[in-house]
């Protein structure tokens, strides 16, 4: 019996897609447990480049079943585009992909509501991805949602009931819904497309597979600092991005969880609004963005960049019981003379290593400075090749975070991955 979880420890885009792909050969099943097409998970191998949004990142290896779990919210139109693109490029998706009947559907009117709520917030807008994520999870918790398993006989009637509710809300907010008829026609066609897939009670499927000795890798989306409970609220997403989200998002009991892989960048990024204590507004931040190609995988939005935040990382490790760390994008810092790491916050003159209730302008980072390695690492394939100063940085992080770093990534390609010898 083996369920391992892989999740982002920062504000998303840590490189989860790449690492899920690398780890997939160790498992029988890969399952996404939360989020929706707000995610953009990038994979590169053999000269190919893919961005996955709703489909798990285990589809490119061979023999694994991939599952979209009940905790995911699914936009049929975006799902159909993603699936058809993959089928066109030769990935035989229908035989390996299963979808939970309990996954909630994103309606076109959810996207309109997302935009309307954002514009009402004015200067305090979240900078959502505009994919209808918040309104869909709101309907789920408010017990109004439509699920994949509802696709069938009385689906149109149920859809119309929910649509009417949304139109009343949009009218009350003074938001237009003129485009709805056009959007709806595409959406209903895409709902029909979903029927070709194996729609299952994934919690039963997964638990039976575990009982039969199979192993499961749970793939998280977003990052711990975007978690609806523990992230930088209200500048968060609407799902549980921490390890507990894998339990509710797939129907797996907590005691069945084995390894928890926590993944982070050697520095830190954030896209959208909200606090980011180590953000750099200077040339160094611009350099990180340029070298790391820090632009959204889906929206193309510029990602904000800054130094690694160990206060936030320790908090995320605590919340999820992380057992192994994976450090990404190490190569992006190859040319830096000095590397900084925020080991504590100064909150109104008091130094703390605990996450404060509110991350506001009164929180300033307290940095340690380490020498850079100034050696290109992206061609390296084994631990023994890594420069001394880089190994010192890794050891410093392990000591500060209290968890071993078992994988180091030195480039976007599947092959640019170094498994360390400490486990």
Catalytic residues, by residue number, are 13, 41
* Rounded-to-integer distance, Cα 322 and Cα 210, Å: 21
Supply the minimum distance, in Å, between the C-beta of residue 201 and ligand IMO: 25
Residue 62 burial (10 A CB sphere; 0-12, 13-18, 19+): exposed
Size of the residue set binding Mg ion (CB under 5 A): 3
Considering beta carbons, is residue 40 or 145 the nearer one to Mg ion? Answer: 40
Segment interacting with ligand GDP, rule: CB under 6 A, options 38-46, 72-80, 155-163, 231-239: 38-46
* Rounded-to-integer distance, Cα 96 and Cα 200, Å: 13
- DSSP structure string for 201-264: -HHHHHHHHHHTT-EEEEEP-S-GGG-TTTSSTTSS-SS--STHHHHHHHT--GGGEEEEEEEE
* Rounded-to-integer distance, Cα 282 and Cα 178, Å: 43
- Residue length of the chain: 423
Considering beta carbons, is residue 166 or 420 the nearer one to ligand IMO? Answer: 166
Tokens of residue 49, six digits = 């480049």
* Rounded-to-integer distance, Cα 56 and Cα 168, Å: 35
When binding is defined by CB under 6 A, the residue of 6, 18, 40, 77 that contacts ligand IMO is 40
Residues of this chain, 313-332, that bind ligand GDP according to CB under 6 A: 328-329, 331-332
Supply the minimum distance, in Å, between the C-beta of residue 348 and ligand IMO: 26
When binding is defined by CB under 5 A, the residue of 35, 40, 71, 251 that contacts Mg ion is 40
When binding is defined by CB under 6 A, the residue of 226, 247, 260, 268 that contacts ligand IMO is 226
Considering beta carbons, is residue 203 or 331 the nearer one to ligand GDP? Answer: 331
| DSSP percent split of the chain into helix, strand, coil, nearest 5 | 35, 25, 40
Question: Is residue 209 within 8 Å of residue 287, measured between CB atoms?
Answer: no
Considering beta carbons, is residue 334 or 343 the nearer one to ligand GDP? Answer: 334
Segment interacting with ligand IMO, rule: CB under 6 A, options 5-13, 24-32, 362-370, 389-397: 5-13
Residues of this chain, 121-140, that bind ligand IMO according to CB under 6 A: 126-129, 131, 133-134
* Rounded-to-integer distance, Cα 123 and Cα 276, Å: 17
Residue with tokens 């925020």: 342
Position 12 contacts ligand IMO (CB under 6 A): yes
Supply the minimum distance, in Å, between the C-beta of residue 391 and ligand IMO: 28
Tokens of residue 113, six digits = 């509501």
- For 178, half-sphere exposure in the C-beta direction (CA atoms, 13 angstrom radius) is 2
Supply the minimum distance, in Å, between the C-beta of residue 16 and Mg ion: 7
Supply the minimum distance, in Å, between the C-beta of residue 280 and ligand IMO: 18
Position 13 contacts Mg ion (CB under 5 A): yes
* Rounded-to-integer distance, Cα 389 and Cα 371, Å: 7
Max CA distance (Å), the chain = 65
Which chain residues interact with ligand IMO by CB under 6 A?
8, 11-13, 35, 38-41, 126-129, 131, 133-134, 221-223, 226, 237-238, 271-272
Which chain residues interact with ligand GDP by CB under 6 A?
8, 12-18, 39-42, 44, 292-293, 297, 328-329, 331-332, 409-412
């Amino acid at each position: 019996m083996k369920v391992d979880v892989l999740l982002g420890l920062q504000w998303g885009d840590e490189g989860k897609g790449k690492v899920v792909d690398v780890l997939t050969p160790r498992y029988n099943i890969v399952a996404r447990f939360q989020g929706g097409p707000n995610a953009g998970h990038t994979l590169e191998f053999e000269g190919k480049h893919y961005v996955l949004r709703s489909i798990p990142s285990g589809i490119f290896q061979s023999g694994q079943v991939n599952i979209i779990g009940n905790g995911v919210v699914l936009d049929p139109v975006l799902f159909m585009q993603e699936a058809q693109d993959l089928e066109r490029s030769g990935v035989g998706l229908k035989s390996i992909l299963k979808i939970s009947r309990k996954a909630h559907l994103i309606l076109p009117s959810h996207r309109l509501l997302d935009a309307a709520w954002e514009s009402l917030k004015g200067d305090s807008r979240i900078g959502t991805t505009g994919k209808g994520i918040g309104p869909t999870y709101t309907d789920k918790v408010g017990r109004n949602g439509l699920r994949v398993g509802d696709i069938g006989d009385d689906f149109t009637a149920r859809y119309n009931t929910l649509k009417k509710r949304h139109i009343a809300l949009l009218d009350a907010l003074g938001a237009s819904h003129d485009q709805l008829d056009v959007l709806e026609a595409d959406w209903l066609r895409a709902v029909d497309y979903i029927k070709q897939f194996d729609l299952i009670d994934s919690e039963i499927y997964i638990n039976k597979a575990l009982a039969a000795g199979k192993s499961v890798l749970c793939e998280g989306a977003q990052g711990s600092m975007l978690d609806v409970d523990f992230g930088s609220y209200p500048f968060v997403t609407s799902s549980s991005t921490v390890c507990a989200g894998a339990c509710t998002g797939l129907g797996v009991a907590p005691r069945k969880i084995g390894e928890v892989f926590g993944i982070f960048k050697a520095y830190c990024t954030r896209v959208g609004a909200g606090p980011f204590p180590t953000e750099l507004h200077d040339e160094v931040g611009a350099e990180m963005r340029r070298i790391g190609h820090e632009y959204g995988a889906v929206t193309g939005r510029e990602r904000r960049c800054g130094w690694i935040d160990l206060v936030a990382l320790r908090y995320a490790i605590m919340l999820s019981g992380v057992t192994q760390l994976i450090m990404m994008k190490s190569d992006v810092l190859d040319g830096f003379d000095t590397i900084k790491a925020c080991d504590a916050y100064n909150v109104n003159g008091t130094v703390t290593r605990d996450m404060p209730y509110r991350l506001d302008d009164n929180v300033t980072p307290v940095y340690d400075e380490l020498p850079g390695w100034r050696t290109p690492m992206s061609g390296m394939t084994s631990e023994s090749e890594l420069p001394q100063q880089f190994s010192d940085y890794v050891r410093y992080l392990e000591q500060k975070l209290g968890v071993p770093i078992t994988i180091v990534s030195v480039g976007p390609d599947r092959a640019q991955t170094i498994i360390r010898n400490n486990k």
